[in-house]
Structure 1
Amino acid sequence: MSAPSLLDNVRLPRWLLPADWPQRDGVPELARVAIEAGRVRSVDPAVAATPSAWNLDGALVLPCFVDAHTHLDKAFTLPRMKQVQPGLLGAIDAMLADRVHWTPADVRERASRGLQWAWECGTAHLRTHVDWWEPDAVPMAWPVMAELAQEWADRVRLEQVSLIKLPLFEDAAQAMRLARQVKATGPHALLGGFVHSTNWSENALRNLLVSAQACDLDIDLHVDEELNASAVGLQTTARILREIGYQGRVVCGHICALAAQPEAQALATLDAVARAPITVVSLPATNLLLQDAVTGRTPRLRGITLVKEARERGIPLLFASDNVQDPFCRVGSFDPVEALGTAALVAQLDEPFDDWSQALCRSDWLRREAPAAQPTLVGQGADLVLFTQADRHGWPSRTAGRVVLREGRVTQGNPAPFLPR
C-alpha cells in the first residue's frame, strides 16, 4: 500500500499544537498533516478537503508511544507459577523461584513476544529493566536484551536498565565496577537500582549516583515502591544529585510512598524533584495490584504516586506498562494506552486525550537534553497512531482499532475508512 502524502481532518491533542492554534468552543480545530519522504513536512489547520488525501474525518492521532518502564525478562512467566503470595515481596519471591529455570532461549522468546506486541500497538521506544542480583556475574538476560536491541533497532528503540539491588552499591569500588559493566554494553544501557526501605542505605545510593556520573551514564531507579511513609529514597536522590552536580537524566519509577506521606512532606519532596534532572514514571496497574495487598481483604489504598502534583511543578511525567503477565502483574499487553486508561480512573485525570496523552509520547523526557518547550510533529518521522473508533470524550476507551504509520507507511491496522473514495 502506498504511503499517504496528506492526512486531512486530523484531531491532534492540544499539547501538540501551538498556543495560537485556532479553536472552536474551546476545542482545537482539525489539522492537515503533510508527509514527505517518511517525515512530517507541515501541520496546518485543515482547509477544503483534497481528493487524494486520507480523510480522517476528525479521528484522533498521536505520535507513536514511549513505554518507559517494562520488564521483558520477566514477561509471560505467570502461567508456569504456582500460588503467588500477595504484595511486592511475595512477587519477588515467586520470580526468584522461577528465575533458576531461565535459559537464554526462554528469555529471548518471551522478550521477543513482548516487543512484537509493543510494535503492533504503536510503541517506538521501549525501556526494559533487567534483574541483576549478583555483584560478579552479568545476568543471563542482560546480553539477550543487548542482542534484541540490535535486532529491533529499525523498528523499536530498545533500552536496557540494570535493576541492581541497592546493597551491591555499598562498596564504592564495586559500584564503579558495576557501572563500567553497564557502560560497556553500549549507549542504550543505563545504570539502575532497587531503592526500598527494606534495603535502604544512603551511602549505597550515593555510590550508585556517583559511579553513574563517573561513567557518564543515565540512571533509572525503582524508588519507594511501597506505602511506607518513612521511605526517603526519592528525596535523598534529589538531594544527592544536587550535591554532586549530576548532569545526566534520572528516571524515578513508582514512588508510591509519596501518597502515604504527610502532604507537606510529599510536596516538599516534589519541589526538590522539580529542581533536579528527574523524570517520574508512574506504573498504575502494577502499583494497584501490589500495594496494600492482603489475602482475602479488599485493598483500601491506591498505590499510585502524586501525578497531578508532579505535573503542576513541571516535572516530566510518563505512564508505562511495567510488568506484563508475571507475578508482579497478571494482566497487561505492552500497550501504554492501557496504563493511561487505568490512571485516568484511579487518579481522576481530566482530559486524557488533550492533556495527559503526552505522558505516553514524550520520549524527550527520557533524554538528558532539556525537554522541548513546545513539542511538534514537524520535522519528525511520520510515526503516528490513528485511532479509528475513539473520540476525545471517551478516549482511551475504544482504542483497540488503530492504524499505525511508521515513516509514513502502514505497519498495522486497516486504513480503509480513511482512503480516498
Structure 2
Amino acid sequence: MKAPALLDNARLPRWLLPAGWPERDGVPVLARLALEAGRVQSVRPASDGEEPDPADWDLAGTLVLPGFVDAHTHLDKAFTLPRMKEVQPGLLGAIDAMLADRVHWSASDVHERAARGLQWAWECGTTHLRTHVDWWEPDTVPLAWPVMAELAQEWAGRVRLEQVSLIKLPLFEDAAQARRLARQVKATGPHALLGGFVHSTNWSGNALRNLLVAAQACDLDVDLHVDEELNSAAVGLQTTARILREIGFEGRVVCGHVCALAAQPEAQALATLDAVARAPITIVSLPATNLLLQDAVTGRTPRMRGITLVKEARERGIALLFASDNVQDPFCRLGSFDPVEALGTAALVAQLDAPFDDWSQALCRGDWLQRASATTAPTLVGARADLVLFTQADRHGWPSRSATRVVLRDGRVTHGDAAPFLPR
C-alpha cells in the first residue's frame, strides 16, 4: 500500500501539540500531518483553511500516537507459565518458580519465546523495547544474554531492543567484581545497560554504591529493580538518589517498580521523591505485575494496590513511564507486550485523569530513557512517521476499545486495516 502524503483530521494528545494550538470548546482542534520520505514534515491545525487533496487520508478524528517505548520487560522469562506447576503467591514465590524452570532453558528456547514477544510488540506499535536478563553468576554470562544481542541485530530497524543485566545486588559487594561485571556489560555494545535487583532481602548500601561507581567508570547507563515490595523500611530509591549526587553520576538511571513509596509515611515518601527530582532518575511503573504480586497471600484478597506514587512523581517533574513487565510467566500470568494495556491498568488503579491527552506520553517518551534531559517540548515534526491509529477509541474512553488499530512505520501500514481512511 502506498504511503499517504497527508493524514487529515487526526486527534493528537494535548501533550504533543505545540503551545498556542487552537481549541474549540476547550478541546484542541484536529491536526493535519504532512508526511514525506517516511518522516513527519509538518503538523498544522486541520482547520487552517487549506483544501485537502483527494488522495489524502481523512482520519475523521481518529486518535493518533507516536510509536511506543516499552521500557521494562523480561523477554527471557516470557511464555514460560504453561510449563510450570503451582506457583506460590508473591514476588519471592515467582522467583522460586522461575529458578525451577531454568532447567528447560536453551538458546533456542529463549530465542523462540523472546522473538514471539518482539513480534507481538511490533504488531501493537512498539518501536523501542528494553528487556532485563537474569544474571546469576559473577563469572558466567547467562545463556539468554547473547541471545538478546542476536535478537537486537535481527530486529534492528523494526524494534530497537536494549538489554539490561539483572544482577543480584550482593554480587556488587566486592568493588573489583563490580567493575568486572560492568566491563562485561559494556563489551556487549551500546544497547546494553548495567542493572541490579535492589530489595530489602539483599540490601547493601555498599554494593549499590559499587554498582553505580562501576557504571560511571565504564560510561554505562543503569536500570534497576528497586524496592519492589510494600516494606516501609526499604531505602533503595532514596539511597540511589543520594549516591548519584555524591558521585556526580553523568548517565541516566532508571528505577523500576519503587512500590515501597506507597507503604511509607507521606512525608518520607515525598522527601524521597524530592531527592529523585534532583537526580538523573527516570521512574518506570509496572502496574499489572505489581497488582498481582504485592500484598499477595494465598486465600486472602489483597488490601494494597502495589502501585507507586505516579501522580506525586509527575508533579515534581520526574520522568515517568508505564511498561508491560512480565508476560505469561510466574510473575504475571497475563499480558501481551502491549504497553497500552499497562496504561489501561494504571488509569484504573491510580485513578488517572485524561489518559489520552496527558498520560499517554508515559508510553511514548523514549527520550526519558536517554541521558540528555529534554529541553524542548516533544514534537512529531522531523521524526519518523511511526504512528499508531486507534480506529475504534475516543479521547474520553481511551484506552478502552484500543485493541483495533492501524500501525504505520515510516509512513507505511504494517498492521491493521487502513481501508476506512483511503480515498473513495
TM superposition score normalised by structure 1: 0.99
| Secondary structure in 2 matching 1:75 | coil
Residue type of the alignment partner of 1:284: P
| Secondary structure in 2 matching 1:34 | strand
Residue type of the alignment partner of 1:260: A
Equivalent residue number for residue 17 of structure 2: 17
> Would the alpha carbon gap of residues 98 and 220 (structure 1) be closer, same or farther in structure 2, given more than 3 Å must change?
same
Write the mapping of 1:308-323 to structure 2, written as runs, cut at 5 A.
308-323=311-326
Find out whether 1:34 has 2:26 as its counterpart: no
Name which of 265, 278, 290 aligns with 1:262.
Answer: 265
What's the CA shift for 1:18?
1.1
Residue type of the alignment partner of 1:43: V
Find out whether 1:53 has 2:53 as its counterpart: no
What's the CA shift for 1:101?
1.9
What's the CA shift for 1:372?
4.3
Equivalent residue number for residue 281 of structure 1: 284
Find out whether 1:106 has 2:109 as its counterpart: yes
Aligned partners of 1:311, 1:49: CA distance in 2, in Å?
39
Residue type of the alignment partner of 1:38: G
Find out whether 1:6 has 2:38 as its counterpart: no
Residue type of the alignment partner of 2:63: L
What's the CA shift for 1:51?
1.6
Aligned partners of 1:30, 1:359: CA distance in 2, in Å?
22
Aligned partners of 2:195, 2:26: CA distance in 1, in Å?
43
Residue type of the alignment partner of 2:69: V
Write the mapping of 1:126-275 to structure 2, written as runs, cut at 5 A.
126-275=129-278
Render the CA deviation track for 1:298-353: whole Å, top value 9, x for unaligned.
00000000000000000000000000000000000000000000000000000000
Aligned partners of 1:277, 1:15: CA distance in 2, in Å?
22
What's the CA shift for 1:67?
0.1
What's the CA shift for 1:49?
3.5
Aligned partners of 2:282, 2:26: CA distance in 1, in Å?
30
Name which of 398, 402, 417 aligns with 1:399.
Answer: 402
What's the CA shift for 1:369?
1.1
Does the CA-based 8 Å contact 1:364-1:372 persist in structure 2?
no
Find out whether 1:420 has 2:423 as its counterpart: yes
Aligned partners of 1:102, 1:69: CA distance in 2, in Å?
21
- Structure 2: stretches of 5+ with no match in the other structure: none
Residue type of the alignment partner of 1:175: A
Find out whether 1:361 has 2:351 as its counterpart: no
Equivalent residue number for residue 116 of structure 1: 119
What's the CA shift for 1:50?
2.9
Find out whether 1:66 has 2:60 as its counterpart: no
| Secondary structure in 2 matching 1:330 | coil
What's the CA shift for 1:373?
3.0
What's the CA shift for 1:240?
0.1
| Secondary structure in 2 matching 1:270 | helix
Residue type of the alignment partner of 1:322: D
Residue type of the alignment partner of 1:22: P
What's the CA shift for 1:19?
1.7
Aligned partners of 1:350, 1:89: CA distance in 2, in Å?
33
Name which of 75, 80, 101 aligns with 1:77.
Answer: 80
Equivalent residue number for residue 381 of structure 1: 384
- Structure 1: stretches of 5+ with no match in the other structure: none
Deviates more, 1:24-33 or 1:177-186: 24-33
Residue type of the alignment partner of 2:317: G
Equivalent residue number for residue 390 of structure 1: 393
Query: How many residue pairs were aligned?
Result: 421
What's the CA shift for 1:379?
0.2
What's the CA shift for 1:98?
0.2
Aligned partners of 1:133, 1:84: CA distance in 2, in Å?
21
Residue type of the alignment partner of 1:400: A
Aligned partners of 2:350, 2:10: CA distance in 1, in Å?
28
Residue type of the alignment partner of 1:299: P
Aligned partners of 1:22, 1:165: CA distance in 2, in Å?
51
Equivalent residue number for residue 292 of structure 1: 295
| Secondary structure in 2 matching 1:268 | helix
> Would the alpha carbon gap of residues 163 and 334 (structure 1) be closer, same or farther in structure 2, given more than 3 Å must change?
same
What's the CA shift for 1:371?
2.0
> Would the alpha carbon gap of residues 318 and 382 (structure 1) be closer, same or farther in structure 2, given more than 3 Å must change?
same
Aligned partners of 2:20, 2:204: CA distance in 1, in Å?
50
> Would the alpha carbon gap of residues 66 and 28 (structure 1) be closer, same or farther in structure 2, given more than 3 Å must change?
same
Aligned partners of 1:306, 1:178: CA distance in 2, in Å?
32
Does the CA-based 8 Å contact 1:384-1:405 persist in structure 2?
yes
Does the CA-based 8 Å contact 1:8-1:32 persist in structure 2?
yes
Aligned partners of 1:271, 1:352: CA distance in 2, in Å?
24
Aligned partners of 1:419, 1:254: CA distance in 2, in Å?
43
Aligned partners of 1:99, 1:360: CA distance in 2, in Å?
31
Aligned partners of 2:27, 2:423: CA distance in 1, in Å?
26
Residue type of the alignment partner of 1:152: W
| Secondary structure in 2 matching 1:326 | coil
Residue type of the alignment partner of 1:23: E
